[in-house]
Amino acid sequence: MEKLHSDILNKLPIKVVEAKFNYRYFIIKDNIGNVYHLHKINKNSYLTYYELIRSKNVQKAIFELKNDDTYFLLFEMPFKKSEKKAVLKDILETLEQIHNDFKFKVTLKKEYFKNLQNIYRVLDNRFSYLELRIREIETSPKKNDTSWVVLSKYNVFLDAKIFLYDLQQDIFKIIDNNESIIYGLVYNYLNTDMYKNGVIEPIFDLYYAPYSSLLVRYFLEFDELDIYELLIEKIKKIDKFNQKYFCFMCLYIYVLNVRLDVMLNEFNISCYLLIAKKIKFFLNKFGDYMK
């Protein structure tokens, strides 16, 4: 685990009593119980930070430190954490503002979406292997209750496969019409701790993408919370391309996370059943936007 040298800690404008690394930044606690995030970044990320804070919705560091070719940015966190559900709408609206602050128009071209072809090849391989495993269960002379439960949920994945194929074809038809859509900046990582009073902490894992990619990232991070009605209202108002791209990518990532050896152990079976449940619920909620 990465550690901070004491000379860096001593230069911070707070009295540090605890510092631990959580993969993306250091979580710092001071002597009066305040919590901070300390980002250790390179020069390119530092330049990205100064681009990001052009948006009033991106939180500014309360302290900066340069040490050789490394930069440290200190961000103050909320004293009291909000309930996740209470800030979900605010987080989405803040992300939308950031996407809008860095927007530009793009004419759709197939070369921009080569990943869709690659994605479907990946999906085809996964579905083929999953089908093989299901056939093994079907033809096995020994079946137990778990076997029948696994078999009973397989139709959900077959439905997802059909929808994914149709969505891919629909997306390419829209691209062939040379329509224009808006691209903007999308966070590739989210959590509710990053949000504070209308601003969101900067990250350095970013990319430019359609608005639907923002919704995908948001949905996959918070899909276990009550966000469906909020997202449905957003999906209703966007164009066909973004509707279908959102549905395609969400289903794709669900399927990608299926443990293919479904009868190998209890964890794989639980994962398979959980994703089947999520896909069925997703199809029920968003099915109208896939047609």
Give the pLDDT score at 81.
57
pLDDT, tens digit (0-9, with 9 covering 90-100), for 14-73 = 999 999 998 889 999 999 999 999 999 999 999 999 999 999 999 999 999 999 899 999
Distances (CA, A) of 112 to 172, 174, 178, 209: 11, 13, 12, 10
Which of 77, 107, 132 is the C-terminal boundary of a domain? 77
Give the pLDDT score at 262.
67
Claim to verify: residue 68 and residue 200 sit in the same structural domain: no
Give the pLDDT score at 79.
58
Does any domain span residue 72?
A: yes
pLDDT: which is higher, 270 or 48: 48
Claim to verify: residue 64 and residue 196 sit in the same structural domain: no
Percent of the chain with pLDDT over 90: 67
Claim to verify: residue 92 and residue 201 sit in the same structural domain: yes
Does any domain span residue 82?
A: no
Which of 77, 98, 124 is the C-terminal boundary of a domain? 77
| Token output for 260 | 């293919």
Claim to verify: residue 187 and residue 127 sit in the same structural domain: yes
Claim to verify: residue 65 and residue 143 sit in the same structural domain: no
**Average pLDDT rounded to a whole number, residues 92-101:** 97
Which of 52, 77, 102 is the C-terminal boundary of a domain? 77
Claim to verify: residue 30 and residue 174 sit in the same structural domain: no
DSSP at 237: T
Claim to verify: residue 132 and residue 70 sit in the same structural domain: no
CATH code where residue 21 lies = 3.30.200.20
Which residues contact residue 118 at a Cβ distance below 8 angstroms, ignoring those fewer than 6 apart? none
Domain hosting 22: range is 6-77
DSSP at 106: E
Claim to verify: residue 50 and residue 183 sit in the same structural domain: no
Number of domains in the chain: 2
Claim to verify: residue 111 and residue 64 sit in the same structural domain: no
pLDDT, tens digit (0-9, with 9 covering 90-100), for 189-229 = 998 888 988 899 999 999 999 999 999 999 999 998 889 99
Claim to verify: residue 193 and residue 105 sit in the same structural domain: yes
Claim to verify: residue 92 and residue 70 sit in the same structural domain: no
Q: Specify whether the CB–CB gap between 178 and 107 falls below 8 A.
A: yes
Claim to verify: residue 156 and residue 258 sit in the same structural domain: yes
The residue written with tokens 């919590």 in the block is 35
pTM, whole model, 2 decimals? 0.91
Does any domain span residue 83?
A: no
